[in-house]
Amino acid sequence: MAKYQPLFTTLALCSLSLTTLTSSSLAQNKAVNQGSLQAQATTSTSVSTCPLPTEIAVTFLKSVCQEVKLTEARIYYRYFSSDTNKFGRYLTTNLYHNNVEVIRKLALKQEWGNQAKMMLTVTVPAGTKVYQGIVAPQEPSQCYPGGGQQIFIQDSKDPNLKWSEGTPLQVAEFKCPL
């Protein structure tokens, strides 16, 4: 047994290092996720497959998104409730008809101030890089399950983007918990 002691010590140290590394990674994810976006912390220690900064990547399900360079102009939807959140970087391909569906599918926590009472279209020109994926849930996930399509653009102030006027959505009171 004594001849195996160095091996056991090495295995124990490796296990401790891996545990420390994993705990450290989770702590870093939690710290990042508590930033201005307030996206929910990931519980996975897998590496993000989204080429965006972590604070944006975590808004995609499992931090997975795909960079796409548009070969032709595309029309996306933006849901908002006031001029302060009208022109944002988060868009979708999903057309919704009421605010509650938008809030749930796009995981728009109501403390962020977007009640999704209006919808507009934005035409993004060919040659623009967009990042697409599925919306990650926000806590509490029974209220904000996500699951809608999410498109992220780097610069919502790009003069080549064409924003339409807003169209009112059917509005109902959003209640959480349901």
Q: What is the pLDDT of residues 62-80, one digit of tens each?
A: 999 999 999 999 999 999 9
Write the pLDDT tens digit of every residue in 1-53. Answer: 444 444 433 333 333 333 333 333 333 333 333 334 445 444 444 556 999 99
Report the amino acid identity of residue 66. Q
**How many Å apart are CA 122 and CA 158, to the nearest integer?**
11
Q: How far is CA 45 from the centre of its chain?
A: 17
More confident position, 109 or 6: 109
The reply to whether 162 falls in a domain is yes
**Contact, 55 vs 40, CB < 8 A?**
no
- Give the range of the structural domain holding residue 70, as residue numbers without chain letter: 54-168
Residue 31's pLDDT is 35
Residue 177's pLDDT is 82
Residue 32's pLDDT is 34
- The answer on pLDDT for 168 being more than 80 is yes
Does one domain contain both 78 and 114?
Answer: yes
Does one domain contain both 12 and 73?
Answer: no
pTM: 0.74
Does one domain contain both 7 and 94?
Answer: no
**How many Å apart are CA 168 and CA 77, to the nearest integer?**
13
Does one domain contain both 102 and 19?
Answer: no
Does one domain contain both 71 and 154?
Answer: yes
Give the count of domains, the chain: 2
Report the amino acid identity of residue 129. K
Residue 41's pLDDT is 44
Instruction: Return mean pLDDT, the chain.
Output: 82
Q: CA torsion, points 17, 28, 142, 107, in degrees to nearest 10?
A: -140
Q: CA torsion, points 85, 88, 90, 92, in degrees to nearest 10?
A: 80
More confident position, 7 or 93: 93
Does one domain contain both 86 and 162?
Answer: yes
